[in-house]
Amino acid sequence: MNINSRVPVGVLGASGYVGEELLRLLTRHPGASVVFATAESSAGERREGVDLVRIADAPFPRAEIVLSALPHGVSARYVNEARAAGKRTVDLSADFRLSPEAVYGLTEVTRPRVAAAELVANPGCYPTAALLALLPLAQRGLIDQSREVVIDAASGVTGAGRTPKQELLFGEVAEDFRAYAVGNEHRQLPELLTTLAREGGFAGDLVFTPHLLPVKRGILETIHVPLTRLLDRATAEGIYESVYHDEPCVMVMHGGLPSLKDVVHRNRVAIGVAAVANVRRPRLTLITAIDNLVKGAAGQAVQNMNVMLGLAETTGLVC
């Protein structure tokens, strides 16, 4: 592809963990050209050969599409500036995930809406892995909504962003493992419930407990699903296979369970299924894995950008 035919892209928050991943992907993308990238405390530095400018100096008119990896609560203002300048946008923060103004960009589920969207709200990392596993069961009425779905998830420390925090110091996290946001109060719970209801007709309860895993990147989720009828592993795997066999970014495990090494540095969710013995009512255990910075953030944003621009969906991505 000729450099002049590349789509000009602007990146907001390019010095954060997610923004840097975006820059890594976009500077190697054959159909995109990064025309500006912003930072706050790191303005004036260079990343991936791109000069970081202050957000007040962002030349929005030069871009055709703007991707925002700004913090939650900061992003909406600048996404709206980009929109006011007539730019299509993908927001990787949580600011528009529950907003009717945006299309929720869970690519495999909302692809036709993403293609036509002016504003895409890129899903959270925990929800992406959980929703791709739960929606096929919810859509088929296989989840017993009189009992809770329980999600126990563990994330590497990049999930918390680069801003220094005492509880994320090496001396605090190394060789330790702990839960946080216990009591079903994590801020991504409404996103999970809203999307399960809208896309899967699920109206039951979900109990979500995240944990901090002392690795740099990657999320593993163990999802306990109460079923309306007995499903053996092969039948459950067959459901996932029928839904995802043409999806390059979803890996259905056959007879095995995923671990982080199946997904890190890849734009992929891996889903494994285990039958549950020794219980009186039917249930299934799902294990899902995702790289929080790739399919959980920057990679899915590029996937959505490709869909919006009519490019091949996995251009510039390793699934």
Closer residue to ligand NAP (CB): 72 or 211: 72
- Residue among 170, 161, 167 at smallest CA distance from 215: 170
Among residues 89, 158, 267, 306, which is the contact residue for ligand NAP, using CB under 6 A?
Answer: 158
C-alpha–C-alpha distance, residues 236 and 239, integer Å: 5
249 annotated active-site: no
Tell me the sheet residues that pair with 32. Answer: 7
Considering only the stretches 158-166, 221-229, 261-269, 308-316, report the one whose residues sit in contact with ligand NAP under the rule CB under 6 A: 158-166
By CB under 6 A, which span of 156-164, 230-238, 248-256, 306-314 interacts with ligand NAP? Answer: 156-164
What whole-number distance in Å separates Cα of residue 132 and Cα of residue 223? 12
Q: Crossing angle for the helix pair 299-309 and 107-116, nearest 10 degrees?
A: 40
Min CB(92)–ligand NAP separation in Å:
4
Helices (H), the chain: 17-26, 75-84, 107-116, 125-139, 170-173, 189-200, 233-244, 299-309
| Shortest distance (Å) from residue 261 CB to ligand NAP | 18
Sites for ligand NAP among residues 37-96 (CB under 6 A): 39-42, 55, 69-72, 74-75, 92-94
> Residues touching ligand NAP: how many (CB under 6 A)?
32
Q: Is 159 in the site for ligand NAP (CB under 6 A)?
A: yes
The CA-atom distances, in angstroms, between 294 and each of 29, 71, 189, 201 are: 14, 17, 21, 28
Q: Which of 27, 89, 292, 306 binds ligand NAP (CB under 6 A)?
A: 292
125 near ligand NAP, rule: CB under 6 A: yes
Contact 266, 285 (CB under 8 A): no
What are residue 316's phi and psi, to 5 degrees?
80, 5
Q: Which residues are catalytically annotated?
A: 125
Footprint of ligand NAP on this chain (CB under 6 A)? 13-19, 39-42, 55, 69-72, 74-75, 92-94, 124-125, 158-159, 161-163, 292-293, 296-297
